[in-house]
Amino acid sequence: MDVLTLLLFVSAVIVLTITPGPDLFLIVGRGIAQGRVAALFTAFGFFLAGFVQVPLLALGLAGVVAQNPVLFDVLRYGGGAYLMWRGLRMILQAGQGVTVSTTRASAGAAIREGFVASLLNPKSHVFLLAFLPQFVRPEQGSVMMQFIVLGIVMRVVALSVEGGIALFAGSIGQRLRRSPRLGGWLERLAGCLLVAVGLRLVLTGRPEGAVSGA
């Protein structure tokens, strides 16, 4: 890939990353409600999911997900149910000191939820299927290798941008959480955001053809 094409690709990834959507809302919500650590590890969960999604795309399995209604719905309902369950737990336990009692627990939950939100969102697979091939040049070598390289670059760039957003949201949340009562309501807000992302997965129908975003 030439330098100009790479710059265009990176620019497109940055724009797509900062475009409002479930991933961005989830990071901001976790940052404000639970701090920079939770937000950063949520973003890291998205990043780890890419190491599953990109090989699937390179092997052509993303197309199978996009064209198979049953498999698409299994991913959609499974991911949505998990996120809604986690969100409801956060809402019910808000203010009790059990949802983010330690950094390890907060980080582990955040990574898991970010990973699940990205990996079990079938539209993210369809989006990758529509986006990455636009930058692949068969005449420049192995198509599979190009997919893998582009996918890794995409995830690294997205992680850098999302990491900055996570730190910013976490800094705001740190000030807001100085009030214990407000901290409880912020935890409820984070739980509501998880439920909202889960509902979006469950209620969003199977896309017709390619999509413009995930």
b/e string for 7-19 if b means 16 or more Cβ within 10 A? eebeeebeebbee
Enter the pTM of the model: 0.68
| Residue 77 reports pLDDT greater than 50 | yes
| Residue 18 reports pLDDT greater than 80 | yes
Q: Are 154 and 49 in contact (CB under 8 A)?
A: no
Distance CA 98, CA 90 (A): 9
Least confident of 46-55, 63-72, 203-212: 203-212
208 confidence band (pLDDT: 50, 70, 90) = very low
Question: Averaged over 22-37, what is the pLDDT?
Answer: 82
Element (H, E) at 78: helix 69-93
Q: Are 91 and 99 in contact (CB under 8 A)?
A: no
> Residues with Cβ < 8 Å from 162, sequence gap 6 or more?
17, 23, 24, 27, 43, 46
| Residue 91 reports pLDDT greater than 60 | yes
What tokens were used for 144? Answer: 């599979």
pLDDT at site 104:
46
Phi/psi for 59 (5° steps) reads -85, 0
Distance CA 133, CA 151 (A): 10
| Residue 45 reports pLDDT greater than 70 | yes
| Residue 12 reports pLDDT greater than 70 | yes
pLDDT at site 101:
41
Sign of CA dihedral 29, 205, 76, 153: negative
pLDDT at site 65:
59
Distance CA 98, CA 67 (A): 41
Note the pLDDT tens digit of each residue in 109-157. 888 888 888 887 766 766 677 777 778 777 777 777 888 888 889 889 9
